[in-house]
Amino acid sequence: RLPATPDLAAAREVVDRLDLDDRIGKDVAEVDGVIGIALRERPGVCLFARVRPGDVQVWWPSRVQAMPGESSCSAAEAAHGHAQRPPH
């Protein structure tokens, strides 16, 4: 069950508890009440999550979008829902 209002501290705690390789970068941020989560293994490999009241979305941007110089693999990008759209 999702909380009525996304909780940034709780999201950070959940991400920190994930049993991930230390080489995987973790980024969690809140933008306008939406929590974005980005997990980055290496350039071109990124996983996004966006948490809004009553809704969670998880997706991988295309390899092209995740490459350096395209969209960044950041929590802010995830919060905005970027990289769900085709590049350019």
CA distance 81 to 77: 6
Q: What's 25's domain CATH number?
A: 3.10.450
The SS3 call for residue 14 is helix
Q: Establish if 2 belongs to a structural domain.
A: no
| Number of domains observed in the structure of the chain | 1
Q: Is residue 87 part of a domain?
A: no
Which pair of structure tokens corresponds to residue 42? 């290496």
pLDDT digits (tens, 9 = 90+) for 35-79: 999 999 876 688 999 999 888 999 988 766 666 666 678 999 999
**What whole-number distance in Å separates Cα of residue 78 and Cα of residue 74?**
6
Q: 5-41 pLDDT, tens per residue?
A: 789 999 999 999 999 999 999 999 999 999 999 999 8
Kindly tell me the sign of the dihedral angle through the C-alpha atoms of 80, 74, 26, 43. positive
Neighbouring C-beta atoms of residue 12, cutoff 10 Å: 17
Identify the domain containing residue 16 by its residue range: 8-80
Answer whether residue 88 is part of any domain. no
Flag whether 73 is in a domain: yes
Is the pLDDT at 88 greater than 50? The verdict is no
Residue entry with tokens 């049993």: 19
Is residue 48 in some structural domain? Answer: yes
Identify whether 64 is part of a domain: yes
